[in-house]
A and B are shown apart, each in its own frame.
Chain A
Amino acid sequence: MLEIPENGQTPYLSQNETMEKAVSIWMEKSLLGTNTSQTVIVDAGQNILQTLQYINIRLRQPVAAIVNGKTVDLTEYILQPGDNVQLIPQIGGG
């Protein structure tokens, strides 16, 4: 099931008639350079990078995408209706 964005978050209006056909993408705040994380609702059918480009969201650093609990390739995984996506920063070293 999709999670409906909470107050203060910015929904993107899916072109689908029913929410069940759409995809929810949660983006951690530091990726956006903002004080709050955001959830957007988008159409399925494209990979994550294409989708972010389409809705004009530019992330600021490398990310990992976790779809329904599994880490996926940003460039290869095609979003499926009903997917829950988490985008989180990827840094490390030291």
Chain B
Amino acid sequence: MTIIGKTFSINNRPETLTKELSYTGKILRVNLNNGRIWVEEPEEAFYRKLIGGRGFILHYLLTELPSRIDALDAQNLLIFAPGVLSGTVLPGTGRHAVGAKSPLTGALASAEAGGWFGSELKRTGFDAIIIQGRSDVPVYLWIKDGTVEIKDASHLWGKTVGDTHQMIADELDEPKIRSAIIGPAGENLVRYAAVIHDKNRAAGRSGLGAVMGSKNLKAVIVRGSNKVGLADKALMQTVQRWINSNYKTLMSWAVTYGTSGSVKFNHDSGGTAIRNYLDNALEGIENLDARSFFQYLLKDRDTCNQCPVRCKLVVEYHDKDLHIDPRYGGPEYETIGAMGPLCGINDAIAVAKAHELCSAYGLDTISTGATIAFTMECAAEGLLSGYDFLPSFGNAESLIESIHRIAKREGIGNEMAEGSARMAQKLGEKAQSILAVARGQELPLHDPRYKNLCAMGYALSATGADHQHNLIDNFANFPGSEVCLRLEEMGVQTPLPLWGINDHKIEGFVYETAFKNFLDSAVICHFYPYQFKHVADALGGACGWDMTPTEIYEIGSRIINMARLFLIREGFTDKDDTLSARAFYKLSSGPIAGRGLTPEELKYWIQKYYMCMGWSNEGAPTPETLAHLNINYPIA
């Protein structure tokens, strides 16, 4: 049965809204099996308890997703969830989350993206979109204010993200659309395909693009004219005034070079893994730093809704053989780290091209770069044979060729499209020894041998290795840093020691990860130096809730516990809370020579963390912990 042309409309024009809250109380539901579209209207308590973003994602996964299904099954849910702060006037809230069960890890997929999509979705009058089922033919979803339509996307299938965006804008005659699009990688079910927003903002990690591809859903397009309201404008303005007065000082790094200005510094201190964790330095690393490549690649700076910082890059390059399309923005630190040092490459133009290709095809740059680096080492070790092409360390052309092949699933690209963990499983013991993943997801570019608490965060994260909802050790080793200020609000003495893990660092980790999970639910940019008190006031301004910093912590802790329940339900145990072998490989020279945890040390501190969280020795939240946090989901 065709679902193309199915429409749904609610009376959601601006004049019908009270404009007294930052949420409308309407959650859009779409079933692609039959084209049914409807709206749920949860009570206020739902919003206050879960906030949005990751909180919403976990609620729907825990209540509606059948246990242990294949993530590419039609029953998987695909959730676009801004939060109660998304789209408000507060700087840093131009973000939203996307979630599902992950086809890469079998665990939680919950990734956030900046830009304008989340804010624009709020302006359509919906607080989130929950998509289930699978269409028989390619479709896209067009949402304008309160009207929703399922439209044919057959002519868009196979197109790049940038071309798809433009073709939809043209056919709708709506040049100002905001978009969430998959490229060929998502269509081809690459297990780490991304959902790309507005052509250059990725909900990158854990394979959300493959989930979207499995549903034959090419795009979600939004355009809204409603205003996101505020319950207490004056209270919101107090937070706004504080950040507007201080961001140039507190976020000077973001204002000047953005994350790409940290490439050389992170490398020099040992923070960036090199050649699949084998080396301690990359010759020519300065080529990959913003201070060098801004001169010949930077075209412009870009920003997100309501953000004065403008940390994003727009790069462009043209010569007779190579063009870099500025529609796709520019590479951030993680992308540069994964495509550059991790692959032994110091060519900024090649790295920028690799970034452009990942955006055009719709690929997560971290998993793409890390899987290529893993394959480079496998090839060097002679573990791969019978292929017409294999990538090699330091060879920029082979990096670019690998990305094409991954997206199209050609040759070795078909193996790499499965991710490095599945490749290692097929290749055997030697390949397992050079694998760098947690819960099957490739490690970000914060070296776990340098940042040991971050390593524990990788092992524990319900999404697999992640640097965002984590505590980066060296950010808490400096008094007055934003992490230290937040920990002091919770009564934790700072700064924290740099090396290793101890009880004191675990206490800090518990509070900081709760805060980060709150940010991913609200949804707020992690670069902003907000403290618990600021976001509590912002919630008051947005929703009229009188919240304390402790309540903010409890919301974050609730979300971490819900994620833990989801892991248990999907069959994960405490034995999965670890890192693969390469993360424990110690370097013999360089800035972090001899540093790093042993597997036994990691296990010991994870047991301590369970205790701190009110979990059993097997890592399951106790009934008392769940009751305290008002969590009640069946996990069978």
Contacts and interface: CB of A to CB of B under 8 A. Distances in A.
Contact of A94 (B258, B268, B592): B258
**Which of the listed residues A49, A69, A70, A86 has the most CB atoms from chain B within 10 Å of its own CB?**
A70
Interface residues of A, number: 27
B478 A59 contact: yes
Interface string B329-372: 00011110000000000000000000000000000000000000
B475 A62 contact: yes
Contacts of A66: 268-269, 591
Contact of B474 (A28, A86, A90): A90
A59 to B, nearest CB: 7
Interface in A63-94: 63-64, 66, 69-76, 86, 88-94
A93 B253 CA distance: 12
Contacts of A89: 253, 262, 265
A65 B24 CA distance: 49
23 contacts: A30-B252, A30-B253, A49-B495, A60-B252, A61-B481, A64-B265, A69-B591, A70-B592, A71-B269, A71-B592, A73-B477, A75-B495, A75-B497, A76-B499, A86-B268, A90-B262, A90-B265, A91-B254, A91-B333, A92-B259, A92-B262, A93-B526, A94-B333
A62 B495 CA distance: 11
Interface of A: 28, 30, 33, 49, 59-64, 66, 69-76, 86, 88-94
Contacts of B258: 94
- How would you classify the secondary structure of chain B's contact residues: helix, strand, loop or mixed? loop
Given A75-B498, A88-B265, A92-B259, A62 B477 contact: yes
A16 B450 CA distance: 34
A9 to B, nearest CB: 20
A76 to B, nearest CB: 6
Interface string B458-480: 00000000011000101101110
B269 A92 contact: no
B249 A60 contact: yes
A58 B106 CA distance: 47
Given A60-B249, A93-B526, 15 more contacts: A30-B253, A60-B252, A62-B475, A62-B481, A63-B478, A64-B268, A64-B474, A66-B269, A70-B593, A75-B498, A90-B265, A90-B266, A90-B271, A92-B262, A94-B332
Contact residue range for chain B?
35 or more
Interface in B506-535: 526-527
- How would you classify the secondary structure of chain A's contact residues: helix, strand, loop or mixed? loop
A92 B475 CA distance: 10
B261 A91 contact: yes
Contacts of B478: 49, 59, 61-63, 74, 90
B244 interface: no
A79 B420 CA distance: 42
A81 B128 CA distance: 60
Interface string B244-260: 00000100111010110
A76 B498 contact: yes
A55 to B, nearest CB: 16
Contacts of B332: 93-94
A92 B454 CA distance: 13
A6 B249 CA distance: 28
A49 B590 CA distance: 23
Contacts of A61: 252-253, 478, 481
B446 interface: yes
B540 interface: no
Contacts of A75: 477, 495, 497-498
A73 B472 CA distance: 14
B55 interface: no
B270 interface: yes
A33 B251 CA distance: 12
Given A71-B592, A74-B477, A93 B467 contact: yes
**Which of the listed residues B256, B266, B334, B467 has the most CB atoms from chain A within 10 Å of its own CB?**
B266
B498 A92 contact: no
B385 to A, nearest CB: 37
Nearest to A86: B268
**Which of the listed residues A69, A89, A93, A94 has the most CB atoms from chain B within 10 Å of its own CB?**
A94
